[in-house]
Structure 1
Amino acid sequence: MSFTPAPWPRKLRSQEWYGGTTKDSIYHRGWLKNQGYPDDLFDGRPIIGVLNTWSDLTPCNGHLRELAEKVKAGIWEAGGFPVEVPVFSASENTFRPTAMMFRNLAALSIEEQMRGQPIDGAVLLVGCDKTTPSLLMAAASVDMPSIVVTGGPMLNGWFHGEAVGAGTHLWRFSEAVKAGEMTQQEFLDAESAVTRSSGTCNTMGTASSMASMAEALGMALSGNAAIPAVDSRRRTMAQLTGRRIVQMVKDDLKPSDILTREAFENAIRVNGAVGGSTNTVVHLLAIAGRVGIDITLDDWDRLGRDVSTIVDLQPSGRFLMEEFYYAGGLPVVLKRLGEAGQLHREALTVSGSTIWDEVKGAVNYNEEVIRPADRPLTDKGGIAVLRGNIAPNGAILKPSAASPALMQHRGRAVVFEDIDDYKAKINDDALDIDETCIMVLKNCGPRGYPGMAEVGNMGLPPKVLKKGITDMIRISDARMSGTAYGTVILHTSPEAAVGGPLAVVRDGDMIEVDVAARRLHLDISEEDLAARLAGWAPSHEQATSGYEWLHQTHVGGADTGADLDFLKGCRGAAVGKDSH
């Protein structure tokens, strides 16, 4: 894709606040000068907002203050004027009922901060799972020159001589305790070993997947995704990003120039190649909706079906993000896709160059971590989109994290009406369940939970775990952590809370799953299903006020990105009226 930079110099939007000699401009300049800024910083140079999602309660982003200083140094070097802006930080670790409920609130608030303040461009300083999509959604809505720099993954964890992944080993150790294979004290001893440095999860969880998506979309500098949080090269990347945003403003290079359909198709294929999180589906659908690109679940299935997973990382494989970076990182994956004809090479990036120009010289330094095409981790990776009378709008599964033996299966449904029902029953040895059954969880979608929590990877019952069984088919309208694994069918749409067919599945029903045929079927007659749906009534709690009410009233389905319906499309960066 060709891009023609805008003429420079030109009047920037920040000059609507700071330019001239009127009472209003004197008012704006005067107040900012109380921080000690000299006159010539208001001479028309680009003012860059460093949108920082640092928070003490967002541990993944706890080091972003240091990175912000490097970003600001780069902006100063390039002749810009950096202003650091704290923005809504949706922490995966602490937010209840789930951080996902606040992704859209974060995107809305940050969009208005970008639009309503005197900045000409933005550096999106992100890391934790929801911070990356929320800031990308905001930037896409405002369409102001913007660039991503992520905080990076933490260092490898080590426990009893084994490299352990944050999140992934939490699930594994928890199951091992229930199976009697690990003591509770050993589990506690592993706590600090699993998360031993600053940064996001060191598996190909949602944070690293979304960092990879930002780079694959062209919204981050090449090589950004995999650099460990505490590596000095992460700070270098931050400083280079600060330099680059100034030129992007001068060139008027905006998200709408970069976030094309080709860019999204590249990202979908990259997600398959790296074994990325199922959460990337709902986030990329939402980002695409903000720029008016019609990406659907069918695109996810079509584009990912023939992509091999070549990155051998937990939770699908063996290694962690440190090894991925040392092997060459995402540029190697992009190069492989380009050589296989599975990359739109001319897609534009924030560098001003095409994605192919950025990666064509990449070198793979470890073919165990980034495997050759003839020895993939999974021959057909990507995201499988299943449909049928349970999920007429679709449900998704991650083949690279699933058990091959369960990819075609017919089993008896064991139903949990909500997550509390699951917790009340799952540890009871009287529960009528065995490894051939299919676990079904309802009312955990965007409206039902509310917010669509990461509870879809339900832990197995102890009596099954004690047999040495480690996987069963699980179906829900929920999400699962990007660090999780198993034959887990997620995002079932329409969700149970709005009367989707999932709502009327009963204990004892037989369910057929055929991933190759993309089929998910409840084995009852059409007449019986229609009768059940006619008698359905909602059972989940409905909020009556506050953001929870706004979310439940306006959130869309998982199949369209679970965004708020009034936030679709780009609204631009027009300067509002000055009230002073």
Structure 2
Amino acid sequence: MSEDEARGFARGLTNYGDKDFSLYLRNSFASSMGYSREVLKKPIVGIANSFSGFNNCHRHFPEMLEAVKRGVLLGGALPIEFPTISLGEVFLNPTSLKFRNLMSMDTEEMIRAQPMDAVVLMGGCDKTVPAQLMGAASANLPAIQIVAGPMMTSRYGEERLGACTDCRRFWGKYRAGEISGDAIGDIEGRLATTAGTCAVMGTASTMACIAETLGMSLPGTAAIPAVHADRLRAAEATGLAAARMIDKPIRPSDVITEKSVENALRILLALGGSTNAIIHLTAIAGRLGIPVSLRRLNQLSDETPVLVNLKPVGANYMEDFFFAGGVGAVLREIKPLLHLDCLTVTGDTLGDRLREDAGPVDHKVIASAEQPLEPEGGLVALFGNLAPGGAILKRSAADKGLFEKEGRAVVFESLADLAKRIDEPDLDVEEGDILVLQNAGPRSDSGMPEAGYLPIPKKLSAKGVKDMIRISDARMSGTAFGTIVLHVTPEAAIGGPLALVRTGDRIKLSVKNKTIELLVDDDELERRRSSFRSPSKPASERRGYDKIYAQEVLQADEGCDFAILQPVRT
């Protein structure tokens, strides 16, 4: 039997210079785990388990894991769990994005190095799903994703609460003096009360919906609440599907194609989903050499309506989305815009799936294409002399009264500068100004955190100001809202035009024209550019993964992946 035909424990043998000895030794050590000789002959489904005590979203994974194993056994294969690092969104410093690529490398290499014939990817929290899909795409072994599922909501008085749009909403009220310290403390304990990812259409839920639309997870599984029994049934069905892919291999490269990526962009726009998803989808597609064009995103956005009435764009929560019909209901509404011939992990095409009975749909949560929430997509890319490589605005979560505006820049040179001055009573800022944060992009010392949601200065929030234009090379949480321009490329830390902005400059935003312009003449910009010095610590003064990140991370328009992880061109 050739190496390519080998299955189970005979696959990818450790090299001792004697193939038969390698298999003999491996079987011997595998026997120490109590496997019988018959079991040692079975094909193997690996289960990449990202459970961690530092990841609240994944605390139900031990129970899900048993359901996945049950499904693998039903399919006649041997389930073997293996750990990878996990990325608990709020527990990582300086930001979870910095470690997404590390998790993708861990996932890729463990899939490739260990003997398995297919793999189940168990993730959920924001960066874990893209990390797993990136790693699986590079390893290109038959793979299927099962996500954690969203939290259920809680209550505060008569209000429903769900992490984390409501976190930001109440924190804004607290900063404005509208609620007391005792109240915000009580709310803190009620925002996140079950296992699962954020209860709104944040990054985690957006990526779950993208995974399902790409065809990398089973139909109907993205929105099942984490604590619902259907989540366990979905885990079992995922294990069974993985076992079935061994005899009829379906690889990530068969599923993630230029057409399925465009379908994923369509669902992102229809959801009014997270801005982070643009970076993640670009990185996933990039592992297979598929470019994601921001100018093409704009074309799709002009054609694709927002249909999903969920926070932060609308009023509802993920549990409502699940009961309203989930991803399938949205896909059926935008069916004429989709590539229906895309293969999925079930072996069916997207068109096959959408021919099945849709079941009931709650149009208060999922609008029809004829009566959308918004006629255009939730995201738009902006270009201009301030962002030659593009920037992103989530227009579905922004104040339309600010879409066509010119204002005076109030500049913060770093996150430390922002924290120090934003609430100073004598800060030189007015309601019509534009807040600008520099040096928060991927090559900055902060590693591109979710700091683009600059707080409204206290002196303005106390007067009732709820939104301002805010511009940065940082990211924003998918649960956030506001007129916020993000991912400005090239970033300030490498000398992009954002680094040249000074307080008092005029900036013009036009969502209609999809432009963001710094109204400073070219000669003055060139003078400023000649004196630019990067404030970031150079890679030569770093070590370990921090050094690799500083040397290899790409810009936002390339998904912030590593240059060394791109496919080799031959």
Q: Which residue of 1 aligns with 2:408?
A: 412
Cα distance, 1:40 vs structure 2: 0.9
Q: Which residue of 18, 21, 24 maps to 1:23?
A: 21
Residues 134-155 of structure 1 deviation map (CA, whole Å, 9 limit, x = unaligned):
0000000010000000010000
Q: Which residue of 379, 383, 397 maps to 1:383?
A: 379
In the superposition, the TM-score normalised over structure 2's length comes to 0.96
The 8 Å contact of residues 450 and 552 in structure 1, kept in 2 or not, is answered as no
Cα distance, 1:199 vs structure 2: 0.4
Cα distance, 1:538 vs structure 2: 0.8
The 8 Å contact of residues 9 and 26 in structure 2, kept in 1 or not, is answered as no
Aligned residues: 560
Q: Which residue of 174, 177, 181 maps to 1:177?
A: 174
Residues 527-569 of structure 1 deviation map (CA, whole Å, 9 limit, x = unaligned):
1112211211111233521211110111000011000101012
Structure 2, unmatched stretches of 5+, are none
Q: Which residue of 525, 544, 547 maps to 1:546?
A: 544
Q: Which residue of 418, 433, 437 maps to 2:433?
A: 437
Q: Which residue of 1 aligns with 2:281?
A: 284
Secondary structure of the structure 2 residue equivalent to 1:270: helix
Q: Is 1:242 matched with 2:263?
A: no
Residues 120-168 of structure 1 deviation map (CA, whole Å, 9 limit, x = unaligned):
1110000100100000000000100000000100001221211122011
Cα distance, 1:101 vs structure 2: 0.2
Q: Which residue of 289, 304, 307 maps to 1:307?
A: 304
The 8 Å contact of residues 8 and 40 in structure 2, kept in 1 or not, is answered as no
Q: Is 1:357 matched with 2:364?
A: no
CA distance in 2, matches of 1:483, 1:16: 43
CA distance in 2, matches of 1:33, 1:516: 66
Q: Which residue of 440, 443, 447 maps to 1:447?
A: 443
Q: Which residue of 157, 160, 185 maps to 1:160?
A: 157
Structure 1 counterpart of 2:92, one-letter code: F
Q: Is 1:266 matched with 2:240?
A: no
The 8 Å contact of residues 395 and 493 in structure 1, kept in 2 or not, is answered as yes
Residues 42-67 of structure 1 deviation map (CA, whole Å, 9 limit, x = unaligned):
22x32011001100101111111110
Q: Which residue of 2 aligns with 1:77?
A: 74
Structure 2 counterpart of 1:136, one-letter code: L
Q: Which residue of 220, 223, 230 maps to 1:223?
A: 220
Cα distance, 1:296 vs structure 2: 2.0
Q: Which residue of 336, 339, 343 maps to 1:344?
A: 339
The 8 Å contact of residues 340 and 351 in structure 2, kept in 1 or not, is answered as yes
Structure 2 counterpart of 1:472, one-letter code: M
Cα distance, 1:90 vs structure 2: 1.4
Cα distance, 1:389 vs structure 2: 0.7
Distance change >3 Å, CA 450–CA 427, structure 1 → 2: closer
CA distance in 2, matches of 1:17, 1:496: 45
Q: Which residue of 2 aligns with 1:489?
A: 485
Cα distance, 1:14 vs structure 2: 4.3
The 8 Å contact of residues 154 and 201 in structure 1, kept in 2 or not, is answered as yes
Bigger mean CA offset, 153-162 vs 360-369: 360-369
Q: Which residue of 97, 100, 104 maps to 2:101?
A: 104
Residues 55-86 of structure 1 deviation map (CA, whole Å, 9 limit, x = unaligned):
01011111111101100000011101100011
Distance change >3 Å, CA 392–CA 366, structure 1 → 2: same
Structure with more contact order per residue of length (Cα contacts < 8 Å, sep ≥ 6): 1
CA distance in 2, matches of 1:274, 1:299: 18
Secondary structure of the structure 2 residue equivalent to 1:305: helix
The 8 Å contact of residues 18 and 29 in structure 1, kept in 2 or not, is answered as no
Q: Which residue of 137, 142, 147 maps to 1:145?
A: 142
CA distance in 2, matches of 1:364, 1:184: 43
CA distance in 2, matches of 1:421, 1:124: 40
Structure 2 counterpart of 1:398, one-letter code: K
The 8 Å contact of residues 442 and 477 in structure 1, kept in 2 or not, is answered as yes
CA distance in 2, matches of 1:21, 1:307: 55
The 8 Å contact of residues 143 and 570 in structure 1, kept in 2 or not, is answered as no
CA distance in 1, matches of 2:387, 2:297: 16
Cα distance, 1:13 vs structure 2: 6.7
Secondary structure of the structure 2 residue equivalent to 1:393: strand
Structure 1 counterpart of 2:421, one-letter code: K
Q: Which residue of 1 aligns with 2:51?
A: 54
Q: Is 1:480 matched with 2:476?
A: yes
Secondary structure of the structure 2 residue equivalent to 1:392: strand
- Supply the RMSD in Å over aligned alpha carbons: 1.6
Structure 1 counterpart of 2:344, one-letter code: T
CA distance in 2, matches of 1:229, 1:158: 18
Structure 2 counterpart of 1:177, one-letter code: Y
Residues 91-137 of structure 1 deviation map (CA, whole Å, 9 limit, x = unaligned):
10101011100000111121111111111111000010010000000
CA distance in 2, matches of 1:164, 1:564: 37
CA distance in 2, matches of 1:107, 1:485: 29
Cα distance, 1:191 vs structure 2: 1.4
Q: Which residue of 2 aligns with 1:526?
A: 522
Q: Is 1:255 matched with 2:238?
A: no
Q: Which residue of 2 aligns with 1:575?
A: none
The 8 Å contact of residues 101 and 561 in structure 2, kept in 1 or not, is answered as yes
Residues 162-202 of structure 1 deviation map (CA, whole Å, 9 limit, x = unaligned):
11220111111111011111111111101121111110001
Structure 2 counterpart of 1:405, one-letter code: G
